[in-house]
Chain A
Amino acid sequence: MKKFIILFAALLFCQVSSAATVQTQTIEDQGLTRKYFLYIPDNLPSGAPLVFILHGYGGSAESYVNNASLPFKALADEYQVALCYPQAAADPKNKNGWNVYYPWQIDKMAIDDCQFICNLAKHLQTTYNLSAKNTFLTGMSNGGEMCYLLAYRKPKEFAAIASMAGLTLVEMAKRHDYTEPIAFMEVHGTGDTTSRWEGDPTGQYGWGAYLAVPLAVGAVVAGNKCVYQETTELPQVKNKVIFHRYYGAPSGKEVHFYEVRDGGHNWATDSFDSCRTIMEFFKMNMSK
């Protein structure tokens, strides 16, 4: 009986702390049925912000929704934002991947994923009365590459963008320029052997040629015309994390760069509270 009461109390607590549920939805876009997961906290006010979270190459949105080490749902409750986890479609390698100009995608993948994300954003803003001014984007790895690509192509659609272990492919830099300032954040491990800190100018590691990570961030900094910088070392938990803040742009938009010393290809959650840092970055870039 005592066990039953404790279990009942625990179930009741779970429901009270996060009564909102994740909805699985679809949308027709560019001739395809695209799946996404939507999390809307209880009692979310009208005009609340919308945050997109993009998974990595070969991954799934569902795995992000259910990933206990990425506490975005709890953060969404706290910061009062809606979350959308879109699912990438299969690319020419038959893997779930965002079209970011990997060599096997160029000219072979018809889907314009940047347009898809923007179309989905408009749909959600309209359907759920979410803020068009306060729509944000984060993503990991291939999702991080989407962060750079959308910063190039659709900067006006997002109030801020945060890339985790993302890259700027040379093909992106060739095709696009940063035309509008954008509040941007990058978290990257210097020991990342998948998306290498030092770049891959010849494309020998399989993703196509890409910029060294400091140069990819530097291109956003230059696009914003940031002129000052500060460097701070965060309190060390596991890997050392150096925070580079670039500011002083005419638009006031900043670029925040977290260099995780010897960090790997991940969200760096064991070295600092990266998910909360992203939400704080979004919060500081929220329009009223």
Chain B
Amino acid sequence: MMLGLFAVACEQPAPENNEPTVSDSSLIVVSKTIGDHQAVVIKPSEFQRSAPVVVVLADDLELRTRMSPVSETPEVNFKAAEHCLIGGYTLCIIGVDSKDDLLFLRSIKNEFPYAAKLYLLSYRNGLAYTAAMQMPEIFAAFGCVSSAIDVESYKTNSFTKPVSFVHVHATENPEFKWTGVENKSASIPLSVGAVVAVDECTHYTTGKLLPRDGKGVVSYTKYLGGKDGHEVVLYSVEGANAGWCDEEFEVYNQIWNFYKVH
């Protein structure tokens, strides 16, 4: 544990505030401020400085949940962290709201100067899409869970460069509806389709995942043949889940594995 804490202290600049740090045998959890955003960084205790970083843009509620000691929070994000560790990633969860200014992400590399690659995942907000439009060069791949392109943001932003993108969505999501929500969010196929178009994918394959414990039906569409090897994957989860959809399938593994090949 001490070794892990020491390692974090070496890599990160001295915090200006008293950042709470929690650790158990496998994780180091540091809360800090990135730009004007609260963040939690989770690493394996024997982490490698070059480990790729998954930046998760989550809403405040999710972040507060993560700020609690790990042992007391067997929440979805904790599961995400566990899977991150299996994949050898560092996880950085940043609290945002859905209309957030993403300029601070331009300097995220400075927070993880040794990271081999940075990946971005937005959970219940469409900021990964906005970031893919605004800063395609900063992240090696993007992901979005249970959200879509923000309609307002899309009026002033456009996709300009190909990116690799993974999207997970339940077909009956009541908040971000599959066919779109007027003046709020784009339809899911059209959100994904916008990336497919900029990637110039030529074809697609579809399939179903094996049901997990008899729960849910999950199908996928992989859009292939994109420029420079970029690809897009959409996981469609039948049902009304508005969260991680991690009861229906191994969502974290699927996302982290997608990142791994990009």
Which residue numbers of A lie inside 8 Å of B, CB to CB?
Answer: 170, 173-174, 198-199, 201, 209-212, 214-215, 218-219, 221-223, 225-231, 246, 248, 250
Quick check: B200 and A227 within 8 Å, CB to CB?
A: no
Given contacts A215-B223, A219-B197, A222-B194, contact A229 B189 (CB under 8 A): yes
Given contacts A215-B193, A227-B149, 7 further A-B contacts (CB under 8 A): A201-B224, A209-B202, A215-B196, A225-B194, A227-B190, A246-B190, A248-B182
Residues of chain A with a CB closer than 8 A to B225's CB: 201
Shortest Cβ distance from A228 into B: residue: B180
| Nearest Cβ on chain A to B175's Cβ, whole angstroms | 16
Residues of chain A with a CB closer than 8 A to B90's CB: none
Residues of chain A with a CB closer than 8 A to B159's CB: 222
Quick check: B190 and A228 within 8 Å, CB to CB?
A: yes
Given contacts A215-B201, A215-B203, A248-B180, contact A227 B193 (CB under 8 A): no
Question: Is the CB of B108 closer than 8 A to any CB of chain A?
Answer: no
Shortest Cβ distance from B197 into A: residue: A222
9 A-B residue pairs with Cβ-Cβ distance under 8 Å, sorted by A, are A173-B200, A199-B202, A201-B202, A211-B202, A214-B204, A215-B202, A225-B194, A227-B149, A228-B190
Quick check: A215 and B204 within 8 Å, CB to CB?
A: yes
Q: What per-residue 1/0 map shows which CB atoms of B152-187 lie under 8 Å from chain A?
A: 001100110000000000000000000110100111
Shortest Cβ distance from B204 into A: residue: A212
Q: A212 to B193: give the CA distance in the assembly, Å.
A: 13
Q: A212 to B196: give the CA distance in the assembly, Å.
A: 12
Q: What per-residue 1/0 map shows which CB atoms of B126-141 lie under 8 Å from chain A?
A: 0000000000000000
Question: Is the CB of B151 closer than 8 A to any CB of chain A?
Answer: yes
Quick check: B155 and A211 within 8 Å, CB to CB?
A: no
Residues of chain B with a CB closer than 8 A to A218's CB: 190, 193, 196-197
Quick check: A201 and B203 within 8 Å, CB to CB?
A: yes
Shortest Cβ distance from A226 into B: residue: B190
Q: A174 to B196: give the CA distance in the assembly, Å.
A: 14
| Nearest Cβ on chain B to A232's Cβ, whole angstroms | 12
Residues of chain B with a CB closer than 8 A to A221's CB: 190, 193, 197
Q: A219 to B232: give the CA distance in the assembly, Å.
A: 14
Interface of B is mostly: mixed
Given contacts A218-B193, A221-B193, A230-B179, contact A170 B187 (CB under 8 A): no
Residues of chain B with a CB closer than 8 A to A170's CB: 200, 202
Residues of chain A with a CB closer than 8 A to B223's CB: 215
Residues of chain B with a CB closer than 8 A to A173's CB: 200
Given contacts A221-B193, A222-B194, contact A227 B154 (CB under 8 A): yes
Shortest Cβ distance from A255 into B: residue: B190
The winner among B158, B180, B202 for most chain A CB atoms within 10 A is: B202
| Nearest Cβ on chain A to B202's Cβ, whole angstroms | 4
**Interchain residue pairs A-B with the least CB separation, the first 9:** A222-B197, A227-B186, A228-B180, A218-B193, A201-B202, A219-B197, A222-B194, A199-B203, A229-B187
Quick check: A248 and B202 within 8 Å, CB to CB?
A: no
Residues of chain B with a CB closer than 8 A to A215's CB: 193, 196-197, 201-204, 223
Quick check: A250 and B155 within 8 Å, CB to CB?
A: yes
Shortest Cβ distance from A218 into B: residue: B193
Residues of chain B with a CB closer than 8 A to A219's CB: 197, 200
The winner among A174, A219, A246 for most chain B CB atoms within 10 A is: A219
Quick check: A228 and B187 within 8 Å, CB to CB?
A: yes
Interface hits, B187-240 → A, CB 8 Å: 187, 189-190, 193-194, 196-198, 200-204, 223-225
Residues of chain A with a CB closer than 8 A to B151's CB: 227, 248
Quick check: B180 and A229 within 8 Å, CB to CB?
A: yes
